[in-house]
Amino acid sequence: MPTDAPPPAARIPDSSTADVRARLAAAFGDRAAFDGPALEAVREDRSGWRSDAPPAALVLAASVEEVQELMRIASATGTPVVPRGAGTGLAGGGISSRGSIVLDLSRMDRILEIDDVDELAVVEPGVLNGDLDRAARERGLWYAPDPASRAISSIGGNIATNAGGLLCAKYGVTRESVLGLAVVLADGSLLRTGHRTVKGVTGYDLTALLTGSEGTLGVIVEATLRLRPVVHGAIETVAAAFPDVESAGVAVGGVAAARVRPAILELIDPVGLARVAEHLGTDALAGTPLADFAPGETFLLAQCDAGDAAAEADVIARVFAEAGGRVERSTDAATGERLLDIRRAMHPALASRGNVLIEDVAVPRSKLPEMFREIARIGAHYGVEIPTLAHAGDGNLHPNFVFEGDEVPEHIWAAADELFRAAVRLGGTLTGEHGVGVLKRRWLAEELGDASVDLQRRIKAVFDPAGILNPGVMFPPGDGADR
């Protein structure tokens, strides 16, 4: 696992650490830990990043009042707090920093309410995305935001990162499903934002501001979430192998130009496809467009739902074929799942070969071909493979770097740096759905500009004047401290 070097100075002196410990032990009993393997575990998330130190304490909060109490202790002692959900982050936004308290919210995992008529749920932050979706479906509803991690990631973390997923081009990102929040602020006070209504414009949209704020403005302790009526009818799947990434890019543009918006449109580039094919083996690909796949080919998978699904799939199949794709179309659910399994195999295929650094740039859809050329150029320049998966429907790409050993090698960081800059240059962003965390904070000003970063730091200071909420996440630390 990679670590930051050199190790930074401790955030707070030992004497006050002793005071913090005493207060936490008194307030939380055995749900406050100060050493042991649990503290080691929160040095990591799923990004492959590892912080330089375990926290000073790990606290498992069980209620809103406990989170308030914790924040009062943290405020009184000036101790940094790192809110943490299921620990599935991909940018190091919820990992320990030296001298910090990691506030584990995973125990606050109750679905408090599902309202059938208002089509909403009220949940604690530790509820897993997939568990909420399952509970909603029992009522004929569903929860649309679908990060690939949905089986294991928590709603609180999804909101903190404004998580995306596969269905976003059609059904929106997490922000579109958050109607209201309850948030504990740095001083321990409780702020409620938003409504139980789709509309509501009284005051600033703090709900949206808090969504995606990565634990730097407040601790999400409750969320009111929009549910949707389940989508009826068969799901239509169209999959195709293209001779190269360029022709697949043409097909993506062609789908948009045909004014069709599939629910899912996923792309695996030739490098990624080779790794997936090796990983799955010949049998798994038999009967798919990848059965006779040749090196250099690109995979594109579309799924359409709701009443227009068949007509949309007709158009997509035609566009794919015209762009040179070997097309397979299916309305059979099992076949659709089997084709989707090819896409799902991407990360396991890479993880079986080493440590994986997953990047998360997004570019305007029309710039996908150019971005793929940039990826190829950067890969060649640095002599690294960059297997890439894309949510092509919304221009969100995950270029991956596989490496040996505990630290991301310097030449991979250099390649990633060029890649981020290319995405920003093409009108895109360095993170489409994973967040800035500690991994990408060094590029924040590169994308936003110094004036915007300064403005955002001042917004943070309104919520958190002492800077105790997740310091070092999103914004580069000003004091030389690091994780």
Phi, psi of 3 (to 5 degrees): -130, 155
How many residues of this chain bind a copy of itself (CB under 8 A)?
89
Closer Cβ to a copy of itself, 156 or 289, answer by number: 156
Give the pair of three-digit tokens for residue 297: 């080919």
Positions 163 through 182 that interact with a copy of itself (CB under 8 A):
164, 168-169, 172-173, 175-176
| Stretch touching a copy of itself by CB under 8 A, among 12-20, 45-53, 60-68, 190-198 | 190-198
* Alpha-carbon span 270 to 242, nearest angstrom: 9
Q: Which residues contact 5 (CB under 8 A, 6 or more apart)?
A: 52
* Alpha-carbon span 291 to 241, nearest angstrom: 10
* Alpha-carbon span 150 to 15, nearest angstrom: 41
Closer Cβ to a copy of itself, 16 or 366, answer by number: 366
Give the pair of three-digit tokens for residue 87: 């620990």
Inter-residue contact 182 to 192 (CB < 8 Å): yes
| Stretch touching a copy of itself by CB under 8 A, among 286-294, 325-333, 370-378, 392-400 | 392-400
Closer Cβ to a copy of itself, 15 or 202, answer by number: 202
Sequence letter at residue 243: P
Positions 321 through 380 that interact with a copy of itself (CB under 8 A):
362-366
Positions 297 through 326 that interact with a copy of itself (CB under 8 A):
306-309, 311
Closer Cβ to a copy of itself, 13 or 307, answer by number: 307
> Pattern 89-118, binding to a copy of itself, x per CB under 8 A?
--------------------------xxxx
Q: Interface with a copy of itself includes 200 (CB under 8 A)?
A: yes
* Alpha-carbon span 396 to 365, nearest angstrom: 8
Inter-residue contact 93 to 470 (CB < 8 Å): yes
> Pattern 464-483, binding to a copy of itself, x per CB under 8 A?
----------x---------
CA nearest neighbour of 177 among 227, 137, 139: 227
Residue among 18, 341, 459, 479 that touches a copy of itself (CB under 8 A): 459
Residue among 10, 12, 111, 209 that touches a copy of itself (CB under 8 A): 209
136 - beta bridge partners?
A: none
- Min dist CB 413 to a copy of itself, Å, is 18
Q: Which residues contact 259 (CB under 8 A, 6 or more apart)?
A: none
| Stretch touching a copy of itself by CB under 8 A, among 22-30, 52-60, 100-108, 434-442 | 434-442
| Stretch touching a copy of itself by CB under 8 A, among 37-45, 60-68, 157-165, 375-383 | 157-165
Closer Cβ to a copy of itself, 217 or 356, answer by number: 217
H and E: helices and strands count for the chain: 17, 18
CA nearest neighbour of 15 among 102, 103, 99, 101: 99
